[in-house]
Amino acid sequence: MSESESEGVLFARAISRVLGWLYFLSWSASFYPQPISNYQRKSTLGLAIDFPTLNVLGFCAYTVSTAAFLYSPTIREQYAYRHPRSPETTTRFNDFLFAAHGAVLCVIIYSQFFPRIWGFKVGSRQRASRPVLGLFWGCVLVIVVTIGLVRVKGRDGGYGAGGWAWIDVVYVLGYVKLTTVVAKYIPQAWLNYNRKSTSGWSIFPVLFDFAGGILSLAQLIIDSSLQSDWSGLTGNPIKLGLGNVTLIFDIIFITQHYVLYTHPAKDAEEEEWLSERERLLSQRIY
């Protein structure tokens, strides 16, 4: 490698690190506007509880998976075995820090739906829906089943890289995170559609998410190009998927907020009355 090529590689690695920390800061900042808004309003009206419910599961799973890729010798060896052309995982410390930080903030946001803890006004319909609860426990079941398969069918108790191995559990945890990302936005987008308003749903996390998604994808592309092997993208499908899914839903929310529903929602008292009325009507129907 020539001196100029070596300098180019060093520069690209420096850019990758900068992008990593920028997306970490952007995505990490996205957690704060919503709980602050809830605290200022002393209310969670306008926020679908399905969102933080799935977020808690997703970020806990993501924290474990990123920690495994970074700090588990077994997982790193198994990753290298399955990706011989690019044996180093593209998971970075900022990925783990983002996941752990997000898990803590998600628990805080979820706790705001309990009036006994925060004393906030919570709508009578702000309870996790059956589909979301089904998805939640379905994901937990998949994790448990995968662990069982690794222990029963895995070579050397799952420590051998061939066949079922502990890295498969880590991948499942990552896919659980990706599944919750896809699912968690749908109830909020639907709630905004029904209310014809984004009032109570802070737009700032969406803007931070959008910026973070672009930066995350850019870092992943640079890291894969440095390895001269684009399997770095497929070897880290969760990071790739998170970036793309985030961008798609952020565009939907930005459109709802700035184009479709620019007027404020009904006041909290009327909204609460409508929520209770819809709940009673649904009970009569079913």
State the CB neighbour count (10 A cutoff) for residue 145. 11
At 223, the amino acid letter reads D
What pLDDT is stored for residue 100 in this prediction? 92
Q: CA–CA distance from 129 to each of 54, 199, 252, 266 (Å)?
A: 11, 21, 22, 23
Q: Which two tokens stand for residue 79?
A: 């990753």
What pLDDT is stored for residue 116 in this prediction? 87
Query: How far is CA 171 from its chain centroid?
Result: 15
Domain ranges in the chain are: 3-285
Residue matched to tokens 């700032």: 204
In terms of Cα–Cα distance, which of 38, 65, 33, 61 is closest to 49? 38
Task: State the burial class of residue 96 (Cβ atoms within 10 Å of its Cβ: 0-12, 13-18, 19+).
Answer: buried
Q: CA–CA distance from 142 to each of 6, 113, 169 (Å)?
A: 45, 27, 10
What pLDDT is stored for residue 24 in this prediction? 79
Q: For residue 268, what is the enclosing H or E element? A: helix 268-285
What pLDDT is stored for residue 161 in this prediction? 67
What pLDDT is stored for residue 15 in this prediction? 83
What pLDDT is stored for residue 74 in this prediction? 85
Q: In angstroms, rounded to a whole number, what is the distance separating the alpha carbons of residues 257 and 206? A: 10
Q: What is the pLDDT along the chain (286 residues), one digit of tens a residue?
A: 555 557 677 777 788 888 878 887 888 898 999 999 999 988 888 888 888 999 999 999 999 999 999 888 888 888 888 776 667 777 878 788 888 999 999 999 999 998 888 888 887 667 788 889 999 999 999 999 999 988 888 677 777 767 788 888 999 998 898 889 888 888 888 888 888 888 888 899 899 988 888 887 787 777 777 666 555 555 556 656 666 777 888 999 999 999 988 876 655 444 554 454 444 444 443 3
What pLDDT is stored for residue 125 in this prediction? 64
What pLDDT is stored for residue 251 in this prediction? 92
Number of helices and strands in the chain (H, E): 12, 0
Q: In angstroms, rounded to a whole number, what is the distance separating the alpha carbons of residues 19 and 236? A: 17
Show the CA angle centred on residue 50, arms to residues 46 and 56, nearest 5°: 120
What pLDDT is stored for residue 46 in this prediction? 84
